[in-house]
Amino acid sequence: MLNDMNEGKAKNKSGKIAVTSTGGSMDALVSEQFGRCQYFLIVDPETMKFEAVSNLGEQMQSGAGPKAAELIIGKGAAVLLTGHVGDKAEEALKRGGVKIINGLKGTVKIKDAINNYLSKKTEQ
């Protein structure tokens, strides 16, 4: 029972996808950095509507990664698409129940990254 409760807390029901981005639109390129990317696009895969959130972590002297994790968890992200995530951010994302898909390249557009992820997901 206790386990169920904890899981329920950690899992985000909304299923939104967060992508690290160099700009505020679906045509922008993916940012390979997590903690110090310029924007997060928080996309609802059902409607493909998105919210662009500028990342204050870019300006932080330390702790940009965990802070960015806090931000996207707060926005209800269940999945993160990005290039690379540092150790501390990874720990925070795991505790917040966010699935990490890394290894994305900065030559890919946000919309392609999302479509690619969704098509792979349905294949499985």
Partner 1 sequence: MIISVASGKGGTGKTTVAASLASVKDNCVYIDCDVEEPNGHLLLNPKIDFEEKVYKKLPQIDYNKCDFCGKCVEVCEFNALINLKFEIILFEEMCHWCGSCKYFCPAKAITDREKEIGVLRCGSVNEHLIFADGILKIGEISSVPLIKELKKKVIKEKINIIDSPPGTSCAMIESVKDSDFCILVTESTPFGLSDLKIAADVLNEIGIPFGVIINKYKPEFKEMENYLNDNMMDILLKIPFDRKIAEDYSKGILPVFNNNELKNAFAGLINNLKTTKVPEKTDV
Partner 2 sequence: MFDKSYKQIVILSGKGGTGKTTFSSSLAAILNNKIVIDCDVDAANLFLILKHEVISTFDYYGGKKALINQTKCTECGLCQGLCSFDAISNFTVDQLSCEGCGFCYRICPFEAVIFKQIVSGKYYECLLPDNSKFYYAKLYAGEGNSGKLVSELKRKALENIPPEIEWVIVDGPPGVGCPVNASAAAADYVVIVTEPTLSGVHDLKRLTELLNTFKINAGIVINKYDLNMDLTSQIFKYAGNNGLPVIGTIPFDKEFMNALINGENIVEVNENIREIMYSIRNQIEQQLELAFN
Binding site for partner 2 (CB under 8 A): 27, 29, 32-33, 35-36, 58-62, 64-65, 83-86, 102-103, 106-107, 109
Strand partners for 100: 80
Q: Exposure string (b/e) for 79-97, b if CB count within 10 Å is 16 or more?
A: bbbbbebbebbbebbeebb
22/76 with CB nearer partner 2: 22
Q: Which of residues 4-43 bind partner 1 (CB under 8 A)?
A: 9-10
15/74 with CB nearer partner 1: 74
- 92 near partner 1 (CB under 8 A): yes
- 70 near partner 1 (CB under 8 A): yes
| Residue 103: contacted member of partner 1, partner 2, none (CB under 5 to 8 Å, by partner type) | partner 2
DSSP category for residue 124: -
Residues 6+ apart with CB under 8 A from 57: 35, 36, 37, 63, 64, 65, 67, 68, 71
The C-alpha angle 121, 123, 124, rounded to 5 degrees, equals 70
- 88 near partner 1 (CB under 8 A): yes
Q: Which residues bind partner 1 (CB under 8 A)?
A: 9-10, 60, 62-64, 66-67, 69-70, 73-74, 88, 91-92, 95-96
